[in-house]
């Protein structure tokens, strides 16, 4: 199961319901928006995590934050602090506001939705994607027990492991983030200013 299926796979998903509520649209539109934007977010994260330095920075960011809270308490998606955190995450993933705007505009055209709606959805979805990653990789959250990299609340910065374990963990991470609909298109779009490191 990849991250897109994890967040949107259930047709009666509480995630979709809450997203629709925050965006002020129907659930079909919310699901459509998320289906277009999440692949761009995951592609950016995969690019960032393609190096050991970038992967380490991503894991550190997940360990230091409380990203799991968004999925544990979906009502938090409506808070200003969530949008602010989401915009910060977008800055790390895409590197510039221009890239975020281009992603929103392109996705809006593909989904037949307004770019304004997509721009509003991006920071919320960025927070949700990081929350899903936190649960999957580190095993954080009320409904998680263990994660890809050792799980729990470990403060060990070397959760990526070494040797064969490192390759297996990277493979599982890439599989979870494999939500691309058009990988080459996202590469072209994100190549404008994708940062390698998450701070």
**Is the residue at 150 inside a domain?**
yes
Structural domain contains residue 199: no
The better pLDDT of the pair 142, 154 is held by 142
Element (H, E) at 42: helix 27-48
d(CA 120, CA 110) in angstroms, rounded, equals 16
How confident is the model over 9-50, as pLDDT tens digits?
Answer: 765 578 999 999 999 999 999 999 999 999 889 888 888 777
pLDDT, position 198? 39
Residues above pLDDT 70, as percent of the chain: 69
- Residue 150 pLDDT > 60: no
For residue 19, what pLDDT is reported?
92
Instruction: Please report whether residue 76 resides in a domain.
Output: yes
Provide the b/e sequence for 167-185 (b: ≥16 CB within 10 Å): eebbeebeebbebbeeeee
pLDDT value of residue 47: 81
How big is the chain, counted in residues?
199
Q: Between the ranges 51-55, 117-121, 193-197, where is the mean pLDDT highest?
A: 117-121
Selection from 47-56, 76-85, 113-122, 190-199 with the highest mean pLDDT: 113-122
Tally of structural domains, the chain? 1
Domain that holds residue 173: 3-190
Q: Which residue has the tokens 């994890």?
A: 6
């Amino acid at each position: 199961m990849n991250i897109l299926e994890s967040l949107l796979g259930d047709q009666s998903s509480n995630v979709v319901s809450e997203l629709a509520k925050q965006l002020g649209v129907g659930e079909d539109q919310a699901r459509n928006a998320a289906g277009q934007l999440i692949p761009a977010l995951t592609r950016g994260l995969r690019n960032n995590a393609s190096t050991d330095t970038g992967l380490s920075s991503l894991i550190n960011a997940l360990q230091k934050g409380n990203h799991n809270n968004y999925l544990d308490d979906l009502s938090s998606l409506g808070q200003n602090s969530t949008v602010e955190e989401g915009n910060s995450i977008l800055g790390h993933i895409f590197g510039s506001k221009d890239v975020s705007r281009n992603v929103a505009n392109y996705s809006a055209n593909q989904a037949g939705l307004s770019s304004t709606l997509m721009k509003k959805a991006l920071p919320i979805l960025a927070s949700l994607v990081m929350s899903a990653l936190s649960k999957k990789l580190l095993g954080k959250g009320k409904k998680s027990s263990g994660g890809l990299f050792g799980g729990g609340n470990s403060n060990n910065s070397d959760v990526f492991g070494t040797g064969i374990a490192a390759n297996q963990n990277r493979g599982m991470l890439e599989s979870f983030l494999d939500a691309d609909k058009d990988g080459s298109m996202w590469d072209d779009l994100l190549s404008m200013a994708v940062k390698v490191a998450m701070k």
